[in-house]
Amino acid sequence: MTINSSNGAVAEVRLVTSSRGIRDGSHKWQTDEKFSRQNGDVMYSGIPDNIAMSHESLLDTLYSSKVYAKIWNVASQALTKSQPPVLHPEYTKPGGTEYVYRELDFWTSGFFPGSLYLLLERERRYKSTVLNWAPDTTITPHQMQLEFACKWWTVNLHQNAYLATTHDLGFMIFPWAQKAWELNRDQDAYDTIIQASETLASRYVARVGAIRSWDTCITKRYAFTDPQKDFLLVIDNMMNLDMLFWAASELNDKEMYQIAVNHARTTQQFHVRKDFSTTHLTVFDPDTGALKSKLTNQGFNDNSSWTRGQAWAIAGFMQTYNWTQDISFLETAQSCADYFWGQLPANGIPLWDFNAPKDIQQPPDTSAAVVASYGMLLMHEALIGRNQPSAYFDRALHILKGVCSIHLNMPDEFVVSLSKIDTAEMASDNSQHEVRVRHGNGIPETILGGATINNYEFAPRRWANHGLVYADYYFLLAGNKLLEMDSMESATKNAI
């Protein structure tokens, strides 16, 4: 990689970026990507890193108590109820502020409790780092309150492990149950993951070599209503393999492992195009395994690149590589990420579809942005582990900076209400106080705006430019991945 300095000198450099270098902007360069400086802006593939946010400000934003307060504001509303939640937040309406809720068996039900568990992970594993990177996090609810909220919001979700009508069990179960097991050794959560994985594997059809995504699908343009005639497969399904691989590893189940590998290979073959954009939906003959058609269900058209689908491919193939160490999955993830990066506008925020007409204003999709950034962090980690050059750490940060600079909603904040309690000895105890959220009128309940569930013109219903629960979840997950990378680097240095 060449750097053109201010005096015209050219140098070959490589980039090895760790999360420790984020705060002060210090990086080691180890990449073969074209790089130059123009007017003080770092340029990658024509995209200037001129977003008005420093590395320090990014960390302050990612780990601020104001982000915690957004999640706690919604979570605490359920804690005074007589029964645990059976409805879970999904999205805010375009222009709206309050969450719209869905039934517990809807595919997004696992993301909000998953967000709670990500906050708990920060408390348990990375508290000192978070305090160092975002000093305003000293005032938050007691950890035991957060632990209770995690349990309260998930007690009704275990039953979803038996849902044999969906491929989304990885989304519905793994975001919270994996953390419940890792952090608490929660046996119920462990059993739920195993059951959900067995249920998911039961949707595998050997002739196709994949796990069935949807049983039916109806739009204003086409309808698939008979699973005996049509096998539907979507790119999103790559993200559910992580749970399947995890369970296969725990059980030493070679058949389950092979199901996940076969699914990834089928997706790789039929969903990834020659230019490494991706097809959203493929339809197969379930009896012969023959491909019948390639369509979109949420993108601009059948041949376009729906950006969240592209992001699912990046993260999903990276997760699959991490489990299999099959270099082809890493290469596919890289190529999909390079395509994604090459289509981004300068601000780092993808539109909902890379091929949507540019002559009219198109809505963004921050959920695609944060999923892709998470996948790029996984990619950077894998490449550095292989002693290969990586530009993906800085790409991930560029995207996160864009999201934080443009689509961060107005904050909530924690406030402390002090109370004075008289004791029997006529003394006073001033140590008791309540931590609550100050949530202003007209402020959205989500951390981020600018997400787009579905803007396909033939969709039964279209939502664009709004808050979305899984945009917030992957925003938090990317933050936790940075914390994990920093922790691993520290442990390695201490061992040396």
Active site residues: 168, 236
Q: Specify the 3-state DSSP secondary structure of 353.
A: strand
The three-state secondary structure class of 449 is coil
- Do residues 231 and 285 lie in contact, with contact meaning Cβ atoms separated by under 8 Å? yes
End-to-end alpha carbon distance in the chain: 30
Exposed e or buried b per residue across 289-300, where buried means at least 16 C-beta atoms within 10 angstroms of its C-beta:
eebeeebbbbbb
Between CA 240 and CA 168 the distance in angstroms is 6
Picking from 349, 317, 382, the residue whose alpha carbon sits closest to that of residue 471 is 349
In the DSSP assignment, the letter for residue 11 is: E
Contact 169, 196 (CB under 8 A): yes
| Lookup: tokens for 130 | 């978070």
Cα–Cα distance measured from residue 14 to residue 1, given in angstroms and rounded to the nearest whole number: 7
Nearest Cα residue to 379 out of 388, 367, 369: 388
Dihedral sign for Cα atoms in the order 304, 345, 65, 438: negative
Tokens for 312?
A: 């699912």
Cβ–Cβ < 8 Å for 446, 99: yes
**Cα 153 to Cα 139: distance, rounded to the nearest angstrom:** 22
Please give the distance of CA 90 from its chain centroid, rounded to a whole number.
14
Pair 329, 28: CB distance under 8 Å: no
- 102 bridge partner residues: 88
How far is the C-alpha of 377 from the C-alpha of 369, rounded, in Å?
A: 12
User: Are the CB atoms for 406 and 450 separated by under 8 Å?
Assistant: yes
